[in-house]
């Protein structure tokens, strides 16, 4: 029986690239880009010189099964993946809430692809790939508060594995090396990992480099390092006039605020609900879009200024949410300002 596998080439939180191997031969490549609960799109390129017509249906069937399983796992509302075998061969289509997948044969009219052609112009590559060492970072597993990486060299040999924990805006973890690395390799591995995160969403990094259970090196980066010594206060000062926090409902112990952004036409971008029944205030802000971590922190600070007008308090714990899903949490311990 012919051996079949999808060999991960690159995997991020928003996409993956896989080599298609059949009968111990590379026969093609699959690139998928997705947003959970929204959409999956991509392209499959099969090598006509390596894959004969007799074997092609089996490979296509396996590819479709992978796409279907991924789409179901992500709960996407729309799925479209172009498959090419020289010219465009067919498209895997899933629309709306329906779970049925169909092969749509190309009838010579490419209008079915026009609506999402722009989504396919940007292929996912390892933009963190080092020009000197040729290291490549691949996500092998990701879940809430935890991510696992593998790092490969230019010859596709495994050089290190990393296991990171994400707690709020702090990232820490261990990088286990296959061999005793030199300083340049340690720096490059750290750069790849750091660059995989949005610097605005991370307060600190702490990476421990290990080889054969022995400590090789440790790297610590703080927020100012990640932002190139950028001053948060100056950044906040320029943006605070863009937001307007308005009290829209007072239920005694619970206050509700609408958050408006001038640069978005003065439209509401989120709703804040705060329990003020104790001196330790708690609440949440439900955003329509996640935005950046700095913007969320600024909005929380502006909300505090409004709360100062209503009640004396010792602390304020606020959970940031998007469509009722928590994405961040901030605790302020402060003296009220009047």
Residues 12 and 101 in one domain: yes
pLDDT mean over 74-96: 70
Residues 20 and 103 in one domain: yes
Alpha-carbon span 310 to 194, nearest angstrom:
41
For the domain that residue 311 is a member of, what is the CATH number? Answer: 3.40.630
Higher local confidence (pLDDT), 65 or 336: 65
pLDDT digits (tens, 9 = 90+) for 126-179: 333 334 578 889 988 888 788 999 999 888 888 999 999 888 888 889 999 999
Q: Which of 186, 211, 226 is the last residue of a domain?
A: 226
Residues 240 and 213 in one domain: no
From residue 64, alpha-carbon distances to 44, 69, 70, 94 in Å are 10, 9, 10, 11
The rounded mean pLDDT for the chain is: 77
Q: Which of 59-63, 91-95, 205-209, 283-287 has the lowest mean pLDDT?
A: 91-95
Higher local confidence (pLDDT), 195 or 335: 195
In terms of Cα–Cα distance, which of 234, 154, 171 is closest to 208?
A: 171
Alpha-carbon span 184 to 194, nearest angstrom:
15
What does the pLDDT read at residue 123?
Answer: 28
Residues 8 and 113 in one domain: yes
pLDDT mean over 187-206: 84
Structural Rg of the chain based on CA atoms: 24
Provide the pairing of β-strand 88-94 with 102-105: antiparallel
What does the pLDDT read at residue 273?
Answer: 93
For the domain that residue 151 is a member of, what is the CATH number? Answer: 3.30.300
pLDDT digits (tens, 9 = 90+) for 243-260: 889 998 888 889 999 999
Q: Structure tokens of 326?
A: 């928590």
What does the pLDDT read at residue 176?
Answer: 94
Q: Which of 205, 226, 247 is the last residue of a domain?
A: 226
pLDDT digits (tens, 9 = 90+) for 286-325: 988 877 777 888 898 899 889 988 888 888 889 988 877 8
What does the pLDDT read at residue 238?
Answer: 46
Query: Is residue 127, in this structure, part of any structural domain at all?
Result: no
Query: Is residue 303, in this structure, part of any structural domain at all?
Result: yes
Q: Which of 7-11, 29-33, 106-110 has the lowest mean pLDDT?
A: 106-110
* Statement: residue 234 has pLDDT above 80: no
pTM equals 0.34
Alpha-carbon span 336 to 297, nearest angstrom:
18
Alpha-carbon span 34 to 10, nearest angstrom:
14
Number of structural domains (the chain) is 3
Residues 199 and 257 in one domain: no
Q: Which domain holds residue 105?
A: 4-120
Contacts of 226-230 with C-beta under 8 Å, sequence gap 24+, read 226/194, 226/199, 226/202, 227/199, 227/200
Confidence of residue 337 (pLDDT cuts 50, 70, 90): very low
* Statement: residue 2 has pLDDT above 60: no
Residues 48 and 98 in one domain: yes
What does the pLDDT read at residue 218?
Answer: 84
Residues 114 and 12 in one domain: yes
Q: Which of 120, 154, 179 is the last residue of a domain?
A: 120
Provide the pairing of β-strand 146-152 with 136-143: antiparallel
Alpha-carbon span 139 to 57, nearest angstrom:
30
Residues 240 and 199 in one domain: no
Residues 107 and 147 in one domain: no
Query: Is residue 183, in this structure, part of any structural domain at all?
Result: yes
β-partners of residue 166 are: 171
Confidence of residue 77 (pLDDT cuts 50, 70, 90): confident
Query: Is residue 125, in this structure, part of any structural domain at all?
Result: no
What does the pLDDT read at residue 175?
Answer: 93
pLDDT mean over 180-205: 85
For 319-333, b/e burial (b = at least 16 CB within 10 A) is ebbbeeeeebebebe
Sheet with 78-84, side-by-side order of all strands: 4-12, 15-22, 25-35, 39-46, 78-84, 88-94, 102-105
CB 207 within 8 A of CB 195: no
What does the pLDDT read at residue 1?
Answer: 46
pLDDT mean over 179-201: 86
β-partners of residue 79 are: 40, 94
Higher local confidence (pLDDT), 263 or 124: 263
* Statement: residue 222 has pLDDT above 70: yes
Query: Is residue 113, in this structure, part of any structural domain at all?
Result: yes
β-partners of residue 161 are: 150, 176
Helix 293-308 and helix 232-239, axial crossing angle in degrees, nearest 10: 70
What does the pLDDT read at residue 86?
Answer: 64
Query: Is residue 304, in this structure, part of any structural domain at all?
Result: yes
* Statement: residue 124 has pLDDT above 50: no
Query: Is residue 41, in this structure, part of any structural domain at all?
Result: yes
Residues 20 and 58 in one domain: yes
Confidence of residue 224 (pLDDT cuts 50, 70, 90): low
What does the pLDDT read at residue 276?
Answer: 92
Which phi and psi angles does 185 have, rounded to 5°? Answer: -70, -40
Residues 247 and 319 in one domain: yes
Higher local confidence (pLDDT), 276 or 218: 276
pLDDT mean over 57-82: 87
* Statement: residue 118 has pLDDT above 50: no
CB 220 within 8 A of CB 240: no
pLDDT mean over 80-104: 60
* Statement: residue 35 has pLDDT above 70: yes
Residues 301 and 253 in one domain: yes
Query: Is residue 128, in this structure, part of any structural domain at all?
Result: no
């Amino acid at each position: 029986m012919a051996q079949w596998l999808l060999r991960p080439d690159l995997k991020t939180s928003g996409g993956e690239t896989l080599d298609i191997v059949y009968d111990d031969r590379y026969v093609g490549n699959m690139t998928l880009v997705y947003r959970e609960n929204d959409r999956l799109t991509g392209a499959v390129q099969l090598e006509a010189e390596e894959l004969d017509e007799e074997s092609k249906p089996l490979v296509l069937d396996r590819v479709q099964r992978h796409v279907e399983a991924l789409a179901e796992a992500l709960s996407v509302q729309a799925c479209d993946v172009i498959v090419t075998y020289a010219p465009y061969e067919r498209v895997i289509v899933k629309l709306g809430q329906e779970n049925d997948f169909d092969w749509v044969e190309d009838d010579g009219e490419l209008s079915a692809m026009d609506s999402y052609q722009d989504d396919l112009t940007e292929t996912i590559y390892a933009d963190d790939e080092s020009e000197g060492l040729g290291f490549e970072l691949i996500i092998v597993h990701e879940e809430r508060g935890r991510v696992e990486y593998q790092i490969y060299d230019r010859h596709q040999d495994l050089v290190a594995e990393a296991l990171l924990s994400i707690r709020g805006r702090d990232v820490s973890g261990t990088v286990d090396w296959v061999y005793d690395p030199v300083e340049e390799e340690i720096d490059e591995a750290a750069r790849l990992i750091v660059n995989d995160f949005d610097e605005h969403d991370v307060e600190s990094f702490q990476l421990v480099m290990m080889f054969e259970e022995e400590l090789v090196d440790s790297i610590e980066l703080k927020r100012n390092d990640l932002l190139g010594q950028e001053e948060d206060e100056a950044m906040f000062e320029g943006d605070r006039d863009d937001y307007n926090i308005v009290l829209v409902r007072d239920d005694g112990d619970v206050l509700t605020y609408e958050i408006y952004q001038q640069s978005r036409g003065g439209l509401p971008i989120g709703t804040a609900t705060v329990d003020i029944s104790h001196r330790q205030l708690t609440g949440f802000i439900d955003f329509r879009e996640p935005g950046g971590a700095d913007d969320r922190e600024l909005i929380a600070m502006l909300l505090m200024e409004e709360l100062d007008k209503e009640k004396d308090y010792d602390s304020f714990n606020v959970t940031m949410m998007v469509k009722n899903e928590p994405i961040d949490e901030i605790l302020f311990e402060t003296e009220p300002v009047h």
